[in-house]
Chains A and B, each alone.
Chain A
């Protein structure tokens, strides 16, 4: 398994760079991951990321944009504004989760 260094911390990542260890993440790391992909976190971003973390803890899967809309209550359009172009993957990355496995 590969590791990478972020903020002087060793974290485990998969071949694409998504974190593989749920517990290695905290919000300071999340902010740094977001900065790496050009996203400045606002309270709205955090609400979404916290939902993803809690949902993953419950279901064992990264929520898709559909699930973030229907269960998390953030409309798909807003997700595209907060995490431009590839919201599903970017949200999961910032939240320290694997990329979503669902098709929809």
Chain B
């Protein structure tokens, strides 16, 4: 049974001028926690939504030139860490020497296997798609970092008050 429609064109939302805006606060520097914000920001940009990413505290490593390729993942305290052979990784094993390196390598490989880029390349793509990157003033001061330590495409180091202007009317995600 087919149902014939006179004309069926997907609605790409071009007709209405959307002012939907997303702000993602990236506060974590662990490899696993870098991704949720990046994936959502990228998806939002692909849907024509305006996106700003604000990096604060540990999230600073994501935009710091000499750190953004070295994010690591530790199984410590993560009860959802499963072993390739099945079963849950015992918590007593997690803090053993070398475990962070092994877990990081595994996670990097899994991310790569599903076609998702490393953090620095993912940010390249987000900026190419129109996303803007902002750094937190307090985090910069605490860590003794300036604009020259950060990715060249970071717009600026801004204060908490500036962030209030930036996020006005936006949907905000804290990660």
Contacts and interface: CB of A to CB of B under 8 A. Distances in A.
Contacts of B12: 37, 85-86, 89-90, 93
Contact of A104 (B5, B42, B130): B42
A31 to B, nearest CB: 14
B160 interface: no
A80 B130 contact: yes
Given A87-B46, A104-B116, A3 B5 contact: yes
Interface residues of B, number: 28
A2 B5 contact: yes
Contact of B46 (A1, A4, A65): A65
A66 to B, nearest CB: 7
Interface string A55-78: 000000000111101000001110
Contacts, number: 88
Given A17-B10, A65-B46, A86-B46, A75 B128 contact: yes
B117 A4 contact: no
A16 B10 contact: yes
Nearest to A77: B128
Interface string B1-40: 0111111111111100000000000000000000000010
Chain A interface SS verdict (over half): mixed
Given A1-B2, A4-B6, A38 B14 contact: yes
Interface string B101-143: 0000000000000111100001001001110000000000000
A30 to B, nearest CB: 14
A28 interface: no
A85 B14 contact: yes
Nearest to B125: A76
Nearest to A93: B10
A84 to B, nearest CB: 8
Nearest to B124: A76
Interface in B37-94: 39, 42-43, 46-48
Contacts of B14: 37-38, 84-85
Contacts of A85: 12-14, 47-48
Interface of A: 1-6, 10, 12-13, 16-18, 36-38, 64-67, 69, 75-77, 80, 84-90, 93, 102-104
23 contacts: A1-B2, A1-B3, A3-B4, A4-B6, A5-B4, A5-B7, A13-B5, A13-B8, A16-B10, A17-B9, A66-B115, A66-B125, A76-B128, A76-B129, A80-B130, A85-B14, A85-B48, A86-B12, A86-B46, A103-B39, A104-B114, A104-B115, A104-B122
